[in-house]
Each structure stands twice: as structure tokens, then as C-alpha cells.
Amino acid sequence: MEGSRVISNNVDGSRENCSSADGRPPIPNSIGGRGAYRHSFNSNGTTPLCTKSLVRHPSLVFDGHGGKHAADFACYHLPRFIVEDEDFPQEIERVMSSAFLQTDTAFAEALLFGQSCASGTTALAAVVIGSSLVVANAGDCRAVLCRRGKAIEMSRDHKPVCLRERRRIEASGGYVYDGYLNGQLNVARALGRLAYGRIEGQDGGPLTAEPELMSTKLTEEDEFPDHRL
């Protein structure tokens, strides 16, 4: 990955406030049907976002499965968890990682008893702070940066068959069968998939919402909108 660096290790240490009346984050009224649901968000669009001046054009992509419930929830809450953190933007790496985990936890807490919790979503967030591009990814959404006409990968797919992910899954009490986590899910990281074998505990579970982060310094050689503040 030319000119980029991983700024947050994988969860195993290897390298390869908008509330409802009861204090819980609001949640969509209905759970969507089965199948994939993709939702992209950009601060230039119509979706409202509380931004601060140091972040230009934050962009997020969500690929929901089992309905749009988790993707809708993450699209609404994840950017707010980022920009409303008291350490934003000075500690952007920690803030973005925390926002993914907070979104996952908030989604679980917001679910009403009796509702299905099989809905989930992969997530990718990209922000520009000053001249730095920072990307956080959990799942198999992809980000690339065009530099001198070449595609620079700014994310990596988190598949159960990847050695580093498989080791983490097995260490967390899960297993990989025919390329699927616990024989059911073809990604190793996602938000909201509590129904798919998550084992709660100090070390998390086989499915994690912990993102992998990458960053790079933007230069005039990058085909990127003007990133100067």
C-alpha cells in the first residue's frame, strides 16, 4: 500500500448523542426484509450531520444484510459518535474505532424484546483531517485512492478465510466452515450481527465490530477533491 500505513492493529494484535425518551438511541420502526441493503452517505448530501470545521466531506458506506435495520441505524448514529466525541479530531484513530463499537452496542441496546437481531451491516468510514485521509473498515466494503493513476488500497476485506481473522475467530470460540464464520456469515467483522454466534466476554466474540484503520497523507499527486482547509 504505497504511501499509506495501518494505524490500528487488528483486534488480536497482528497486522495482516441523539437519544429517545428512555435514553436509548432511536431506532427505525420496522425491520426490513431479507437480502442485501446498501446505504452510502456523504456530508454533501441531504442527510443531516453535525460536522466540525476540521473534517471535510466525511463519507461512509454500509452494506446491510438481513434487512436494512442495522444499516439505517449505523448511517444515523456512527457519524455522530465520531464528531461528538470529546477527543475529536485530535485522537481521530481512537475516536473512529470507538464510534464503530459504540454503534454496535447502541444497536443491540435499542432493539426491543421480541424483535429479530439478525440484521447486520458492514461499515466503512473515511474522513479528511487537514491533509490526512483516515479510513476505518469493518467487513468487506472497499476504499481506494487514485495516486498518479494507480489505485492505492485503503482497506482490506475481513473474510473468515483470512489467516489473521481465522485465528482470531477460533481464539474467540468460533469456527470457520466452508469459508463462513460459524458456517453462516461470509465476513469476520460487522455491526449488529448478534444472532450469528457472538460470544460476549472480555475478548469479544468471533464476530467483531472493531475496525481496521489506515491513513495516508494526501498530496498533489492524488486525484482527490481539494483537501485544504
| Of residues 119 and 10, more confidently modeled | 119
DSSP single-letter state for residue 86 = T
Amino acid letter at 228? R
Cβ atoms of 41 and 60 within 8 Å: the answer is yes
Which residues, listed in sequence order, are joined to residue 63 by a DSSP beta bridge?
38, 122
pLDDT band at residue 65, thresholds of 50, 70 and 90?
confident
Strands 55-65 and 120-129: what pairing? antiparallel
Q: CA 130: distance to chain centroid?
A: 22
Q: What is the pTM of this model?
A: 0.76
| Of residues 77 and 41, more confidently modeled | 77
Cβ atoms of 58 and 51 within 8 Å: the answer is yes
φ/ψ of 186, rounded to 5, equals -95, 15
Residues 163-211 have pLDDT tens digits of 999 999 999 999 999 999 999 899 999 998 664 545 344 456 899 999 9
User: What are the chain's domains?
Assistant: 4-217 (3.60.40.10)
Of 18, 37, 16, nearest in space to 123 by CA: 37
How far apart (Å, rounded) are the C-alpha atoms in residues 98 and 85?
A: 9
Of 73, 90, 85, 87, nearest in space to 39 by CA: 73
Whether pLDDT at 162 is above 80? yes
**Overall average pLDDT of the 23-48 stretch:** 41
